[in-house]
């Protein structure tokens, strides 16, 4: 689906007069084990928030503007890639089996859903995880869902001095300014911040990723990538192509998600396997000449990372971060790029 058709389809939903709002709770599945993948061991439970009808057009207009700003005529729509961090495109995610817990949540959105009735319902949430807005198609009764990862401050109450939402509600005086009476009045309830932002849209069995990090956070893929990064650092260590300085590589992967993603890419494109059969010094010398960087080696030709900067260069080369142009041979820096088939 190209951008023009996608925008036209999304507009049909946001023009709907039927809008639903949900808070998504994330909690551990019963019987889940610590070794289970994060994308599988959590369950996501929607809680319906009844909105007054005068909010419907405001929410629709707000999210419609977000869609307009993202789905531009020339925007690229590509399949999701874990290592492509560019936000100037829309990525599609269709292999929902890889995010099993969230897939189950999406499938259950059409069923019976509990409605929030009181503070107690909010206090008992294990973790308020995301906001979801549902729009019913005006003609075919299908639904589109806009989902946004919640920030910790989604409730308009002060939690800085309180350990839980419940204590914050108990210890805070909530108020609002009445424009008719020009007075500050007590608020009998709690506030939910509705922000003009979308991390992903789900309809017709496809997730359209507007914000990659938000999508990965919501679906628990971020935690999965963190665990995968640790496993790949161990794999790099076991290959033993680095004779000294693994501590810098390990620290880099832990501190900088972009380098974790680069290492994941190196694994995906087969470069970690290539290290087992290639002459490391020859390959890194060749790469070093291209990018004007001199790598360090021991007497056996194994690479040395003397500091974090050198660790960065090692990961960048492994992930093919540098691309050579076919016209003129210029070398470019970009994490994007897909293997030519």
Give ∠ CA 65-114-175 in degrees, rounded to 5: 65
Residue predicted with more confidence, 278 or 323: 278
> What b/e readout covers 188-204, taking b as 16+ CB neighbours within 10 angstroms?
eebebebeebbbbbbbe
Q: Report d(CA 287, CA 294) in Å as an integer.
A: 9
| Those residues with Cβ within 8 angstroms of residue 326's Cβ, 6 or more apart along the chain or in another chain | none
Mean of the pLDDT values across residues 97-107? 92
Q: pLDDT at residue 164 above 50? A: no
Mean of the pLDDT values across residues 39-64? 88
* Tens-place pLDDT, residues 74-98: 888 989 987 776 677 899 999 999 9
Q: Report d(CA 326, CA 314) in Å as an integer.
A: 24
pTM of the complete model: 0.81
Spans of all domains in the chain: 3-154+192-219, 227-333
* Tens-place pLDDT, residues 115-139: 877 666 766 676 789 999 999 988 8
* pLDDT confidence of residue 156: 44
* Alpha carbon distances (Å) from 123 to 50, 163, 190, 225, 332: 17, 12, 11, 30, 51
Q: pLDDT at residue 340 above 60? A: no
For residue 12, give the nearest of 109, 136, 110 by alpha carbon: 136
Give ∠ CA 95-221-332 in degrees, rounded to 5: 90
Residue predicted with more confidence, 166 or 106: 106
* pLDDT confidence of residue 160: 43
* Tens-place pLDDT, residues 281-339: 999 999 999 889 999 999 999 999 999 999 999 999 998 886 665 555 555 555 555 55
């Amino acid at each position: 689906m190209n951008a023009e058709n996608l925008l036209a389809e999304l507009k049909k939903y946001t023009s709907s007069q039927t809008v639903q709002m949900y808070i998504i709770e994330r909690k551990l599945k019963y019987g889940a084990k610590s070794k289970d993948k994060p994308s599988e061991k959590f369950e996501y439970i929607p809680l319906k928030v009844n909105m007054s009808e005068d909010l419907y057009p405001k929410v629709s207009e707000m999210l419609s503007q977000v869609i307009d700003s993202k789905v531009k005529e020339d925007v690229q729509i590509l399949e999701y890639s874990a290592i492509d961090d560019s936000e100037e495109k829309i990525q599609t995610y269709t292999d929902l089996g890889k995010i099993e817990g969230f897939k189950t949540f999406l499938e259950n959105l059409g069923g019976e859903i509990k409605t929030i009735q009181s503070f107690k319902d909010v206090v008992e949430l294990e973790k308020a995880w995301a906001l979801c807005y549902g729009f019913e198609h005006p003609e075919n009764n299908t639904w589109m869902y806009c989902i946004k990862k919640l920030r910790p401050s989604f409730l308009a109450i002060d939690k800085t001095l309180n350990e839980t939402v419940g204590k914050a509600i108990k210890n805070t005086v909530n108020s609002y300014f009445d424009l008719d009476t020009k007075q500050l009045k007590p608020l009998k309830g709690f506030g939910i911040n509705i922000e003009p932002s979308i991390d992903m849209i789900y309809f017709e069995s496809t997730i359209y990723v507007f914000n990659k990090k938000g999508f990965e956070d919501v679906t628990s893929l971020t935690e999965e990538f963190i665990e995968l990064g640790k496993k790949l650092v161990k794999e790099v260590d076991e290959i033993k192509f680095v004779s000294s300085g693994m501590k810098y590589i390990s620290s880099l992967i832990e501190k900088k998600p972009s380098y974790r993603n680069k290492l994941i890419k190196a694994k995906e494109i087969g470069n970690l396997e290539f290290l087992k059969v290639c002459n490391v010094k020859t390959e890194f010398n060749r790469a070093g000449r291209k990018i004007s960087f001199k790598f360090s080696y021991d007497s056996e030709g194994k690479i040395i990372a003397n500091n974090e900067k050198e660790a960065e260069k090692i990961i960048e080369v492994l992930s093919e971060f540098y691309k050579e142009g076919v016209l003129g041979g210029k070398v470019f820096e970009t994490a994007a790029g897909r293997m030519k088939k």
